[in-house]
Amino acid sequence: MERWNSDSWTDSPDLLQRPRGAAGNCGLDPSLSQQPHSTSLDSVELRPLRQTCVMLSLLSTKPLPACQALVSHPFFLVIWGILFSHMRDRARRMAAREERRKYGQSLRQKVGRVSHADWDPKHRKISILELLRASERGRLANLLPIKAERMAASPFGFYRGAVPIMASDLSMLPSSGIYAQLCGDAHVQNLGAFEGPDGRLIFDIDDFDETIRGPWEWDVKRMAASLVLAGREANNTEKECKTAALTFVESYREAMRQFSGMPMVDLARQEVFRHRHVSPVLLNVLRKAERATPVHNLEQLAEQRNGKWRFRDNKPLRFHVPPATAKQVAAGLRNYVDTLLPERRHWFSHYRVEDVAFRVVGIGSVGVRDYIVLMFGTAEDAPLFMQIKEEVPSAYAQYLPEADASVNQGQRAAQGQRAMQVQSDIFLGWTSIAGHDYLVRQLRDHKAVIEEEDLEGDGLVQYAQICGELLAKGHARTGDPYAISGYLGNSDKFDRAIASFGLAYADQSTKDFEEFTRAIQVGKIRTAKLTQAKPAKPTKTKHAKSRK
């Protein structure tokens, strides 16, 4: 009688030789094999089924007595029991997923999908200027005119600095009640390329100053409006801007449907990847990211003085700080290392602080304390640039009672980033300095963002699709993808509603921009250097015609 050898699977059936991800004859959807990390016979979830398929294939080649012996073998009985247990557990999981989908679908009775198109400025209770002033309390007053100057440059520039206004507006709009980790400031220039821990360039959401748990629709609406505003600034027609908004939401909905069918362990490592020849819109971004090496940054940001590297001053946007402040910043780094994983703490310990400076960054962040640190390892050809950026409470926190105001705000930003990204900066962490909370990360390490010229014509629509997939991935990882997918459904009702909202809110934000620039002209708001603001596009008549 032939004895059963538990190691014999490894030499039998071509099931074991099938390429990873290939669908066999066990009821798997062949389309799943086209998706990264999708369900396959090699996945942990289906491993017992894979093993049993192998043994059944073996049995079909054996004579009847041998089959009876194998079936009665204790090892086979154990595997058979595991299979049924697995199938039972899988059925329970599928039932739970379906229950969550039906729950999401039921929320349409509370908040209809078409209602997301609604926008009425009459709901506003506080003026936009009051909201902006309140958000600037505690910031460095001498830098606020720079923020005003940058916001006055264009309607999209204003939108980037007006998160407090939109947070207030969104809080008054209906939502499904499903929460996820929000980027909080989801707009087209807050996605970018950066280097992952494995050295590959990654394109993902890359700004988390406003991150917080909240209604997932808030991110979707902010991104949709930003596509319209950025599209207009890139001289696209109103029809092209609306198409981009529709493409973005459709991409979000389809990606969420795909993510809702994946095991959570696969979703946790899911990456949205677009090769350069597939998405030309990312080509320039990736090229810039490749060039943004630490050595390149050293040439751009620093110079040698008396044999030592020092940041190059560029007042008022970059300048050195007093020695006492520099010591405080260096001390903050000693506390920061405790927020790193042990092996990364060891890597960081090989670097020493060479110079510290202050810099003005972005638009919405102007006025917060932002230090940059030049460090060197064992050789001067291996510089490391770190950014230590003050984090204040998210603009959404006051509208979300569940928000924990006691947490270190740098920790909030870092943990939100880690939650939404598959791979994050290896030196991402947080610290406190002189009573202020800070996010700590690498500065400009192979980082680059989209430019206005990249969003002209087809580039806007291509980019919109990527925005949808990335935002859906972040929300699916941190929320309830089954309920969100159930709420969205298969029709384009939600797509059309959000596209309409995006157009309407872009118009509203343009009106807010005009009110803001009038306040500058009459002296209510001071700018660092009053420049000629970009008007709200002379093609406004064309926009109006295209909308009909």
pLDDT at position 84, please?
Answer: 60
Best CA proximity match to 468, nearest among 297, 259, 229: 259
Residue at which a domain ends, from 106, 124, 150: 106
Contact (Cβ atoms closer than 8 angstroms) between residue 176 and residue 107: yes
Within-domain flag for 337: yes
Residue at which a domain ends, from 407, 442, 477: 442
pLDDT at position 545, please?
Answer: 38
pLDDT at position 56, please?
Answer: 54
Contact (Cβ atoms closer than 8 angstroms) between residue 101 and residue 178: no
Q: How many CB atoms lie within 10 A of CB 182?
A: 30
- Return the exposure string of 482-513: e unless at least 16 CB atoms fall within 10 Å of the residue's CB, then b: bbbbbbbbeeebbbbbbbbbbbbbbbbbbebb
Q: What's the token pair of residue 436? A: 């202020």
Contact (Cβ atoms closer than 8 angstroms) between residue 108 and residue 483: no
Best CA proximity match to 471, nearest among 253, 284, 200, 266: 253
pLDDT at position 548, please?
Answer: 34
pLDDT at position 444, please?
Answer: 73
pLDDT at position 489, please?
Answer: 97
Within-domain flag for 262: no
In terms of phi and psi (left: phi > 0; alpha: psi -120 to 50; beta: otherwise), the region of 383 is beta
Residue at which a domain ends, from 80, 106, 132: 106
**Residuewise pLDDT in 10s, the chain (548 residues):** 433 333 333 333 332 233 333 333 333 333 333 333 433 444 444 555 555 555 555 555 556 565 556 556 666 666 656 666 656 555 565 667 899 999 999 999 999 999 999 999 998 999 999 999 999 999 999 999 999 999 999 999 999 999 999 999 999 999 999 999 999 999 999 998 887 787 778 889 999 999 999 999 999 999 999 999 999 999 999 999 999 999 999 999 999 999 999 988 888 887 765 544 456 777 777 777 777 778 888 888 999 999 899 999 999 999 999 999 999 999 999 999 999 999 999 999 999 999 999 999 899 999 999 999 999 987 666 899 999 999 999 999 999 988 887 789 999 999 999 999 998 999 999 999 999 999 999 997 556 677 777 888 888 999 999 999 999 999 999 999 999 999 999 999 999 999 999 999 999 999 999 999 999 999 999 998 744 445 455 444 344 333 33
Residue-range definition of the domain harbouring residue 310:
287-442
Number of folded domains in the chain?
2
Q: How far apart are CA 309 and CA 479, in angstroms?
A: 46
Within-domain flag for 370: yes
End-to-end Cα distance, the chain:
82
Contact (Cβ atoms closer than 8 angstroms) between residue 195 and residue 288: no
What's the DSSP call for residue 198? Answer: T
pLDDT at position 302, please?
Answer: 94
User: Taking the model in full, what pTM does it have?
Assistant: 0.80
pLDDT at position 271, please?
Answer: 73
Using only C-alpha atoms, what is the Rg of the chain?
A: 27
Within-domain flag for 88: yes
At a CB cut-off of 8 Å and minimum separation 6, what does 481 contact? 256, 259, 260, 267, 475
Q: How far apart are CA 487 and CA 105, in angstroms?
A: 4
Q: How far apart are CA 212 and CA 192, in angstroms?
A: 20
Within-domain flag for 474: no
Within-domain flag for 268: no
Best CA proximity match to 62, nearest among 1, 15, 6, 117: 1
Within-domain flag for 451: no
Within-domain flag for 325: yes
